Structure 1
Amino acid sequence: MHEKKQASKRRSRGVIVKPLLLGSLLSFAIVSAVVLLLEQGRSHTLFGLPWGAPNGENIALRALIINAIQLGLVCFGLLFRGYDVISRAFRRRINAVYTVMLGLSYGALVLKYFNSTTINAIEQIFGVVGIVGIPATLYALYLLVIVYRRVENRLEDAQELSVKYYNQLITDSLTGLPNRILFQDQLTAKLAEVQKKRKKLAVLFLDLDRFKFINDTLGHRVGDLLLQGVVERLQRVMRRDETLYRLGGDEFILVTECEQKSDGLERANALLHHMEDPFEIDDHELFITTSIGLSWYPDDGEDMETLFKNADMAMYRAKDHGRNNVQQYESVMNVHAVERLQLEKDLRKAIEREEFRVFYQPQIDIDSGRMIGMEALVRWQHPERGMVSPGLFIPLAEETNLIVPIGEWVMRTACVQTKRWHDAGFPHIRVSINLSAHQFTQPSLVSKVRTILEETGIEPKYVDLEITESITMTNVDKAISTMSELTGLGIQISIDDFGTGYSSLSYLKKFPIHTLKIDQSFVRDIPQNSDDAAIATAVIAMAHSLNLNVIAEGVETEEQLEFLRERNCNEYQGYLCSRPLPPHEFEELLANELQMRT
């Protein structure tokens, strides 16, 4: 910074000094020419006036005065030409004064060469005025120096300010990392460097999983502190030749040189490992994972834009594969990216076109074998694709926040259908409806549920809202408050996918819940898998100790059902009983249930 200031000073001095030197030479030449002409004219008579032989010292003094005044005019002219430091009116007055002094000084010089009483008197008057020009010019030059220094200081301040603004432009203000602008410039330069070294360059696109949910739930302050914590943790494990950039939001880029691709994959997996430990933010224990997309120079692109785009696509593939993993770019991803954009476009129109359907899967009491509930599951009947898998469109709906209107529509539709079955004389069983993380954090959730209950006329005790375990642990106090308001409406609440999150038993006993649902991943391999069997057994025992109902999901075999029955699991659902059915088919199950009961 100091070197830049010195260079700037040298340039500004050059702008002034060179013209000033030329102006001085020109001024001296003009005065010398006038004196030479006057000396040549002494042998003649002008206007009938007698010529005299002036003192050489006087002539030299007059020439110096004229030269000083002309030099002052040159200096001010140079200053005013480059910098607008005084008003134009003041500038005109200075020029007028200098012009008068210059005219009087030239007049006094000329009159020195003539002899007469009148001329001598006029010459003395002019001489006095001209003599005054010396201190006036010196003072003016002093002012010139002051003004010049003021301008120079202003230029230095402006330069410092421009550097400050430039640093703000290329640096992320929250984390201090270089941002997208600097990434684009530096990656282009880095590509030229590694090309000479004949090395590979890995571009890692990092995106924090479920950061928006944490940000929306706990507030932007906690979100900002979490981002800073993530950056600090990543910087602790970065190598000297690596650079980390923040693109915005929860997206980061890491650029690193590698000898071979296995080194880059190892590096990416190491970053995932370092993100496993929780972050302590304002008394909140937050778990955050990362999805990483990886592209290679020169295999996946030879310019900055292509490498960035391909790493971005690979990152989305990591999201699609369950998050918290690394995916390398493959050419087939371009096709998937186009399909994804089209799917998102269709998803936005699906609600308007009424393409969604609600299917129902029965929930069975293990002891009696009776149907005591059903889970409402959304399905998408695409006009061209047919039935779109929920595993494909639900994550996309959550990512685009379309899950909120979709979830509200499912809740209303399921309540209307359940009330219709109740009124038709079918068994009064409850309906379980899933709440997404985005829905649960909506400030208007309770009022919307109340409105749906009132408008559909369904009795609240037949409505069970299912929320996932991870939702409750993001902000426990807020979760307890929201669940208490919902149960205050008379509905029930279940914890879905239990065992896959980070629940603390001390929190779990505080939740106003009625049911735990054992995730199907723990049911699928029982009783063969001893670990899954142990987890399922522990969850059932724990739930009973807390006076909670237990439902096992994904039951497909009699062997699984017998295992759950022996451990006193209350209910089950899964393909062993029935797959999810559209309303008209599910109504047949209700009819059979009614016939069994009667």
Structure 2
Amino acid sequence: MLQLKKLLIVDDNHVNRQVLCKILSDTYEVLEAENGREAMAILHRSYESISAVLLDIVMPVMNGYEVLEEIRGDAFLSKIPIIVTTGSDDYSAEIKALSLGAHDFLLKPYKPAVILHRLANTIKLRETAALVNAIEKDELTGVYSKEFFYKKAEKILLENENLQYDIVCMDIERFKLVNDLFGMQEGDELLRHIANLIKHYVGNHGICGRVGADKFACLLPHREHYEDNLFNDAIEAINEFPIGISINVCYGIYCIDDVTIPISVMCDRALIACSSIKGKYDIHHAYYSDKLRQSLLSEQVILDSIKTALLENQFEIYYQPKYDLSNETIAGAEALVRWNHPVKGFISPTDFIPLFERNGFITDLDIYVWETVCRQLHHWLDNGQPMIPISVNVSRVDIYNPELTRILTGLIKKYNLKAEYLHIEITETAYTENPDQIISTVLELRKLGFIIEMDDFGTGYSSLNMLSELPIHVLKLDMRFIQSENAKRNRKNILSFIISLAKWLDLQVVAEGVETEKQAQMLKSMDCNYAQGYYFAKPMPHEEFENHIKQHNSEIIDEKDPSKDSNKDKVMIQKSKSDRIMVIVDDSTINRTILSKIFHELYTIVEAENGQDAYLYLEENFSIIDIVLLDLVMPVMDGFQMLGKMKNCEQLRNMPVIITTQTGEYSEARALAMGAADFIPKPYNREVALHRVSNVMAQSKLRAIERERELAHKVEEMRYKAEHDSLTGLYNRAAMETSINNFFANHEKAEGALLMLDIDCFKSVNDTLGHDKGDDLLVDISNILLSSFRKEDVVARLGGDEFAVFVPFRLPPADLQKRAKKLCEKLKIQLDGIKVSATIGIANAPLHGSDYQTLYKNADAALLAAKRLGKDQYKIYDMQMEMPSPSLYRNMDWLLDETSDAIVICDMKSYEILYLNSVAAKIAGKDKSLCVGQTCYKTLWKRERPCEHCISCGKLSQAYIEQEVEDDATKHHYIIRDKLMEWGNKYARIQYIQDDTARNQFKNELVQANERFSGMLSSLQAGLVKCQLNDQWTVLEANEQFYEIIGYSKEEFEARFDNSLAAVVEPSCLEENRIQLQQQLKIGEKVVMDSCFINRLGNPVHVTDQTVVVTEPDGKSYFYCTYIRKADVQIPQKGDAAI
């Protein structure tokens, strides 16, 4: 049961305290104090457990103001939220209480709904503030977190400009080995040990933080020289940690000579120094040297001039039009940046963009581009020119900027634009590098109305499955993909397929880099939506672009001007310096004026005189509105009606609304129940109104964070299911392909090994023991593979009984052979007389391939070669490897005829039988030669059209898809496994058909028998229990009658007693029962004894107990009990008269 939060009520009036207790006691644990002095004693004694205080102002012994002053001066007590209560309607009292630190104010007589609502909000805000405070520290080690260390270090440098400091970073070598050998818990303890040592050494001289999984950083006063002994002593102290291996640590030192460099870059430089001595066990520290710095100097020349370049507008924005391929009219444009350097002339974006991305300046440049584009769009809007959307780039660095959405929405508001006119381009590689972060950010931008484009599709390694998960609107095909398509005719179908897939996913497609008429016509024939490139128009400055638009003016559809919205005439907008917008809805001009004066410095005010006009404005501008102040009583759509409509609208239901009212408690409670966040009473008081709005805005932000977390959790679940095999939990084929391709893309010298495994005799397990046993075997094999490799290695199930492992580092041939041999040994499994093993084929990267397809093909060839040697074999790919001989293929037909399954190979499209074995011919009832060339559905299944169970070719892959089918004519039950295979120069469908009629019939009979047996158990009046014979008598199985006897549900019994039968046996019976069970274990006969339970009401329940004790094959002892209830007998309690 959850523990109730604790409140303290301070009031000298006993009746008032009783009223509050009655309102709050169902929700909170309530403490009482009749004066301020008594309250302070309780607070000093129990402040950690008290969630809030309800404090009366007027009291004879230490009044409420005195209590507030004392609490404000106490570091611990000041964290407890105080809500002041008073019977006075004097606003000066409320203002004084708030100035002394009160969090809220309640008037007597008390309104239950309002009190509960205010308390819940106040406590939630306090808990959230505590959570934010906890973010400063790294949860595991107790030193500063990375983010807070950066902020704290930056502050120290700014406040001590005359002092010199060093950044010292520490990197633990081979830390992963600790986790692998001794477990994560031991690794965590080592990190805590090291963190404590660092805190001890640093003391009050500096600060320290954890900046990586096994990396720490310190900011310390500058030293001219760091002695070796200092680091040697530290490493000796680290190695005092009780663990079986030596821990080596390297230190990197960056002497800060430029405080304007971000702290993160300083730490990176110190870590670069660490990396320079890794593996040199006689050297423990190194400086970020001039030699290391030299490589950055050439980049710094460019970086030094960026601020000047931004101030002098050296960056010019060029626009390249996008054309609608259906009519070749201009449908939009992409903004491209050019650097016109006063000395070097035009600098190519390829020279400065990657540099800016690495050094963080890309955000400044991107914001400059975004604002320039918004200014240009606003210029067109003001001059009545046709509006077309402009695409701008959002770099990978921008994605991690928590201010991204605020910056973009701020620009949209500043230039009075609709978000849909600013298209956001994010490159494909960014999506694949950190899909979780991207999806979260893009979802937020999409909600705000921005159009999202995936740029440069075809240059990264995103899978087609990922397209369905990403919340994008537009897919941009990279020009290199298009050029490659022209160069290789066989890729034309791939391009057409991607465009068709995008259409099916309701995505628009833009082909960029179109250079010839042939390319444009081909894209048009494929129903591509838009194109851009030199064939249509080159990138051009804005003056030339405007002239270009004018030439096509008659062809561009002039979209509705947002500034001419019909509803804007019905609301009044008062601009302010703030970007935040407050909508005030009240039919009284005086009330609107008062509220506008209170909030005009904090918000841009939008006034509406009735709910109807306000609701229309909210619908059209929901993405930019922060809060609504709503009167309840109005002639046209009152406040209740408007709240109801907002509650039913997806975009408006979470918008914070504060009601302004003087209609009484019932109306307030009703509005709060309909979703209002709080209320401001009339007549208005400035301080009270500001306080209420501030609280509600804080609560609204908190709820938005919670919604985003929930959405992120759902997205993570979807991503996991898309990437993992549902049976084993391993990666699936698509996820492995993406992972390997990403590995090659992100490493210049990519070295690794791909192991492909095929399970020997797996078919015999399925045929002999059933598919459930087969599934269990696959899960066991998965666990063996996971335990045999590191977390960095990629383990996947490709389908059926095929597995693969990718090891992303170089293994010498001898080590690789040793590992393969060891893995074969681990995968030797005896299963009910069947000897299961594995055959392995191995290919090395980059020797045997530097992309997934090549590596997979060669590992598969090695696997085939290993299979030729028999079972339980392995082979490493050799470019001279001899493939299976023709004689093996001549014997294959004979081998396939000897199998127990029917095997059929047919054309994907025509269903023409290309091959079948004798078992399949038997199902058809014809000679094999008469079946080849006929359709499979007519020959095998006697149908006139393709069977319903046939899987469409589009869903088949090189992994098996299994289904169960019953033949209506013969009533035979089959298990059919389909997949694609290469057959000559085309793909064909191969089907393995297993007659499963007998097993299916037995399964049905078993289900019926289980149902009958379950019915028999349910009809018994006795309680049946199986327990393990241990000290607790752990209940393993029990029927409903047992739980009825003891008076607990199954869930309650498990939660309260941890399934311990001994816990509910009356103590005087328990010892006697234990003795009888031990005797029965020796004798081996059934025991009949009396026992007594204590039920949930505390009453005894007497039963007759028939028990049998057995020792099962696992070597453990169990007992089976039948309990029959006797008539209830009352046992005299303490204090009762003797009978």
- What is the TM-score normalised by the length of structure 2? 0.25
| Structure with the larger helix share | 1
Structure with the greater alpha carbon radius of gyration: 1
Q: Which structure ranks higher in relative contact order (CA pairs < 8 Å, sequence separation ≥ 6)? A: 1
| Structure with the larger strand share | 2
- What is the TM-score normalised by the length of structure 1? 0.46
